[in-house]
Amino acid sequence: MTTLKIPTPLRYYTDGQAEVTVNGPDVATAMRNLVEQYPTLEQHLYNGHGDLRNFVNLFLGENNIKDLQGLETPLNEGDTLRLIPSIAGGSDDFSRRRLKSLLQKLRRNTCSPD
Amino acid sequence: MTLVNQRLLQTILSENAGLEAHVGNTPLIPLRRVIRGLSPSVSVFAKAEWFNPGGSVKDRPALNIIRTAIANGNLHPGVRLLDSTSGNMGISYATFGAAMNIPVTLTMPENASPERVSILRALGAELVLTDPLEGSDGAILAARKMAAENPDLYWYANQYDNPANWQAHYNSTGPEIWAQTGGQVTHFIAGLGTSGTLMGAGRYLREQSPAVRLIALQPDDGFHGLEGLKHMPSAIQPGIFDFNFADRTIEVSTEAAHTMILRLAREEGLFVGISSGAAAVAAIQVASELKEGQVVTVFPDAGYKYLSDKRLWEHS
């Protein structure tokens, strides 16, 4: 099971839920499972060809799945996905900034005299 | 007797007045190729707002908000200007803050484009990045909280509720459009973010001619990728917005705006941002319904701040 975090504008379609539990071995299947649970989400997330709309970004932990294996990115029990609309391309860098920040924290902790 | 070259004098006075003197008086550019097929008696013009010193239409309200706050005694030494932003307003605050020695603190969604973050940091603004899942409304709530908890440290500019926002457009954008079209504008289209452009320029134009049609543009969905624009039914309502003000509201999809910015770049030589693409889509839709008229819209910014999204520019 994967926890999928829902952005504010889409919570109207998830009965107000900020988090939804989805099932599937990869991101594509998990997203389809989301739409099965909340069918009115489909038109907001997918285009007429069945592809995710191009401003829809999914983050697995701190990484944009576009930097991983896209929709084929495998999911493990307990993973958290976040659904975040791109506001003009920031999301790719968003993941890098978060990753950099995380690495800095790890380095600080590693170098700490404690 | 000394002859004075008035134009030269104006230029010198303007230059000595500093960066603030160069806000406004932006070009009104006719669209030519993307409007092929329209009636030959219909024109479509775009206000090229990236000509402002801070690179966007937001220079107008930011400067007026700052000047009004200084005049009212709200913004004074020892106080930081605080507001929420999705990017452009923050850049304008930071630009004039640097020029006028006013410290600036901004709340902004963490998924704002890297260009925006870099520009704001270069200009010396303090940034508080908010949860991207909450979008621009999350940034608004964060700014409200910070202002309530630190009233002595911050002056909350509150662009969404501050009348100096729409008044900037009433005093500059509206009169410029009226003058640049020789009073011939028939339709004015503006995207809704704070709604300041529509409410201010629209009020002015309607006063000059009640026949001018005012058209609001918003994303077609609360979940969208049109940076700077708000889907009003599902967002926190700006206090300066009047739902009944516009004669009509047009909804534009993110995909249509993306397609249009490529067309504007390749067919008009206009390298503009995503909200400008949305404005062009709406303006062309309105123009296509007319036999004659002069349609004016606003292109809020240029495309440079969107380059990091390579998918936007590389598809054909």
> Would you state the pLDDT for residue A89?
30
> Would you state the pLDDT for residue B34?
97
Instruction: Label residues A40-54 b or e (16+ Cβ within 10 Å = b).
Output: ebeebbbeeeeebbb
How far, in Å, CA of B227 to CA of B167, rounded? 23
- Flag the least confident range among B32-36, B109-113, B208-212: B109-113
Express each pLDDT in B151-174 by its tens digit: 999 999 999 999 999 999 999 999
Mean of pLDDT values over B17-25: 92
Comparing C-alpha atoms, which of B115, B123, B46 is closest to residue B106?
Answer: B123
- For B23, the 3-state DSSP assignment is coil
Does B135 sit within 8 Å of A85, measured CB to CB? Answer: yes
> Would you state the pLDDT for residue A114?
32
- Flag the least confident range among B98-102, B176-180, B267-271, B306-310: B306-310
- pLDDT level of residue B2 (50, 70, 90 thresholds): low
Q: Does A93 contact B at CB distance below 8 Å? A: yes
A31 pLDDT more than 60:
yes
> Would you state the pLDDT for residue B55?
97
User: What is the DSSP annotation of A35-50?
Assistant: HHHSGGGHHHHB-TTS
Domain definitions of chain A by residue range: 2-111
Specify the CATH architecture of the domain B59-156. Answer: 3-Layer(aba) Sandwich (3.40)
Domain definitions of chain B by residue range: 25-52+173-314, 59-156
> Would you state the pLDDT for residue A97?
45
> Would you state the pLDDT for residue A48?
84
Instruction: Look over chain B and give the mean of its residue pLDDT values, rounded to a whole number.
Output: 93
Confidence check on the interface: ipTM exceeds 0.85, yes or no: no
> Would you state the pLDDT for residue A96?
42
B119 pLDDT more than 90:
yes
- pLDDT level of residue B6 (50, 70, 90 thresholds): low
Residues of B in contact with A88 (CB under 8 A): 87, 112-113, 225, 227, 273-274, 305-306, 309
- pLDDT level of residue B13 (50, 70, 90 thresholds): low
Specify the CATH architecture of the domain B25-52+173-314. Answer: 3-Layer(aba) Sandwich (3.40)
Q: Are A71 and A27 in contact (CB under 8 A)?
A: yes
Q: Does A81 contact B at CB distance below 8 Å? A: no
The size of the A-B interface in CB pairs under 8 A is: 105
Comparing C-alpha atoms, which of B142, B128, B181 is closest to residue B295?
Answer: B181
- pLDDT level of residue A109 (50, 70, 90 thresholds): very low
B275 belongs to the catalytic site: yes
Mean of pLDDT values over B277-299: 98
Q: Are B196 and B242 in contact (CB under 8 A)?
A: no
Q: Are B163 and B59 in contact (CB under 8 A)?
A: no
Q: Which helix (H) or strand (E) holds B293?
A: strand B292-299
For a pLDDT cut of 90, what percent of chain B falls above it? 80
Min Cα distance A65 → chain B (Å) is 15
- Give B56's strand partners: B301
The superfamily (CATH) of domain A2-111 is: Beta-grasp domain (3.10.20.30)
How far, in Å, CA of B47 to CA of B43, rounded? 13
Does B116 sit within 8 Å of A90, measured CB to CB? Answer: yes
Express each pLDDT in B38-95 by its tens digit: 999 999 999 999 999 999 999 999 999 999 999 999 999 999 999 999 889 999 999 9
- For B84, the 3-state DSSP assignment is strand
Express each pLDDT in B250-266 by its tens digit: 999 999 999 999 999 99
pTM: 0.88
Express each pLDDT in B170-192 by its tens digit: 999 999 999 999 999 999 999 99
Q: Annotated catalytic residue: which of B56, B275, B276, B305? A: B275
- pLDDT level of residue B16 (50, 70, 90 thresholds): low
User: DSSP secondary-structure letter at B164?
Assistant: H
Q: Does A84 contact B at CB distance below 8 Å? A: yes
- For A34, the 3-state DSSP assignment is helix
Dihedral-angle region of residue A53 (phi above 0 means left; psi in -120 to 50 means alpha; beta otherwise): beta
How far, in Å, CA of B140 to CA of B134, rounded? 10
Express each pLDDT in A38-86 by its tens digit: 999 999 999 888 888 888 889 998 888 988 998 999 999 999 999 987 6
Q: Angle, nearest 10°, between helix axes A90-111 and B114-122?
A: 60
Mean of pLDDT values over B205-209: 98
Q: Which of B84, B140, B223 to probe by mutation at the A interface, max A CB count within 10 Å?
A: B223
